[in-house]
Each structure stands twice: as structure tokens, then as C-alpha cells.
Amino acid sequence: MNYTFLDNAATTPMDKEVIEEINDKMINVFGNASSTNFYGRQAKGVLETSRHTIAQSIGAKDTEIVFTSGGTESDNTAIISTALSRSEQGKHIITTAVEHEAVMKSMAYLENLGFDVTYLKPNEEGSITSEQVQSSLTDETILVSVMYGNNETGAINPISEIGELLKDSQALFHVDAVQAYGNYDLDVNDLHVDFLSTSAHKINGPKFIGFLYIRDGIVIPSYLKGGDQETKRRAGTENVPAIAGFAKAVELISGVDKQKLQEKYFGYKKIIFDILRQNDIKFEVNGSTKIESLNQILNIYLPGIERGILLTRLDIDGYGISGGSACTAGSLEPSHVISAMFGEESPRLNESIRISFGKYNNEEEIKNFSEALVKIVKDLDNIN
């Protein structure tokens, strides 16, 4: 059976060129980048060349890129280290009710330490407004953390507007851009952000590597305690082969027209919509139907169709999708994102699925998936 992978928001398959780059560096550049001998200098050279490639991809300086183990560590570092180091200036933080668990659980941890967190409620398209941020700001606000695009619905937030709003505030601005990076052109200066989190495995790179952008002039303590790597901002020996693989993945996406990429994914959405409508399948989109979203992500509500059963049937038929965030979907717990958008009693919590596209998908796969989805939904409707 040919298996079609449509869970790219959870992870993406590594590009062959990335794998080759990692293998080469594992074999030929095995030194510790902190060592001063030949092998260490060789590793340091690869590390800094990779840092430069990645910095250029977001309009940053090389010195503003700190390598981490991925999006979770980047989010944790930006949020917790900032809060703990700036608590004398205030203990108020603003975020949204639809952030990734890496942000939500960081906020819960800080609340237990006495910080006050405001969770902005999204509209039914899953986004918030800059006006909501403005009305929630106080003299005690030290940090605002808002994701660029949602990992379950694809909803995009007005990051540049929020960044502009915060320029005259003491509050630092953190953006989780894990899903947006590589799918949209991002420039940290245009967005007016102080921190930006990414993860390589969302752009056909390796797992367990990412970076945190920290604007020059902002000093926060290393979240991990240990050596002085990453100019004392992230302790631990750098994973040079993975970082080189990350840089290769960035090189491969740098020449991609992001607008055309989003138009292609929007076209995939339309194929699914058209086939469902042609077959009289009732559905609604959880999120925006406009092109101004992360179009690689589609979250749809299928009334009366239990999510767990549908996911199993699709998996048996050779289609890999999910019920929401991969970090929570394994337990099939109701989505906090859908709950924030539609309420805790909404049937959407247990009758919605997430489909997410990637560079290796094509129109034929999307058509075949849509037809399989129609057949399964009709079968389940007949059983019900």
C-alpha cells in the first residue's frame, strides 16, 4: 500500500540533501566547536557558517541566533528566562489562549511562581487583534508572547502591528514562528520582535534542533546551566551535524517563492472543499477560509463523525493525518485551541481533524485523499 503523509504540521520528512549534509559532517567534522585544536576549529567554522545562513533567512545578525534543541526549548527559554530575569520590573505577561503547549505550559509554570498571565481569547477564525494586546497592557507587563500562525488551524496573527505597538513599551515581544518559518517570508526587523522561535523539523530538516532569535542588546540568562557555549546564552555542546543540516534545509527553502507556495497549498484546500461539496458532505472550517493564513494547515469539522474512528479508518486506508497538535494528539485529548475558539462544550472538539501539506505532496494525492475521506464519512454516517 502506498501511504500518503498529510501530517506535515507535526513534522516533515528530511530532504535527501539535508541527510547527505548531516552524514558528511558526522563523518568528517566530529570535533567539539569549543575546542581550540584543528578539529574544534573545523567544527567552529561549520557552526558559524551555518549561523550566518540562518541569520540571513530572517534578516538578523549572526550574533542574534542561538541554537537550541527545537521550538519547545526556544519558547521555554524566551518566556521563562525573560520573566525570571525581569520580575523586578513587573510580573504581568500577555499571551493567547491558542498557543502551542510549549508556551501554555511555560505560562502555567510562571503562574505558579506568582506571575499574572492574561490569555487573549481568539475570534472564531482563531486569531487575535493588536487592539486586544493594547487594552491588556499595564505598567507591569514585561512580556508579550503571540504565535505567528497557529499549528492547529493555520490562523495568522497581526505580528507586525503588535510589534509596532510594543516599541514604546517595556514589554519584550516573543513570537513562536515554528509553523510559519519556511512557509512565509519573515524579517525580524519588519516584525519588530525581540525573540523568535523556530524548529528545523518543520522545514524538512532534522529533529531536535532549532534556534531562538534574541535581538541584540537583550540579555537573558542561559536557560540551561553548564558551559559557556553560544556566547553564554545556551549551555551544552553544539550539535554541529544537525546545525549544518538545518542550514542546508534553510538554503533549500530560501529560493522558494513563499507566495506561490501558499497559493499551491490554498489550491489543495480548494480541491478538498470541492470534492466534499460535490458529494454533499457536511463540513465547516475551523479557522479562516481566506488565503491570508498558513495554508499548509487545514482543520475541518465533520458533524457527527467521531475523530478517533475517522483517524483510524484513514490510517488503515493509507492516509496519515491528525486530530490536532502532535504534542497532545497522541492522547486524543480535546484541543485547547478549538475549545478557546468555540467553547468547551462544542462538538467540534471531538469531530474535527487536521490535514497539513508539505513539499512532497501533489494534487493527485490530495484528490485521492478527498475521495477516501468522502467514502469513509459516508460509511460512518450510515452506521450512525
Task: Report, as residue numbers or ranges, the catalytic residues.
Answer: 327
User: Helix and strand tally (H, E) in the chain?
Assistant: 15, 12
CB 301 within 8 A of CB 311: no
Q: Which three cell numbers stand for residue 118?
A: 492574561
Closest by Cα among 141, 144, 139 to 159 = 144
Measured over the CA atoms of residue 85, residue 238, residue 325 and residue 270, the dihedral's sign is positive
Measured over the CA atoms of residue 212, residue 330, residue 284 and residue 98, the dihedral's sign is negative
Rounded CA-CA distance 74/67 in Å is 9
Q: Which three cell numbers stand for residue 53?
A: 545562513
CB 63 within 8 A of CB 216: yes
Closest by Cα among 354, 267, 362 to 314 = 354
Rounded CA-CA distance 183/250 in Å is 11
- Cβ count within 10 A of residue 218: 13
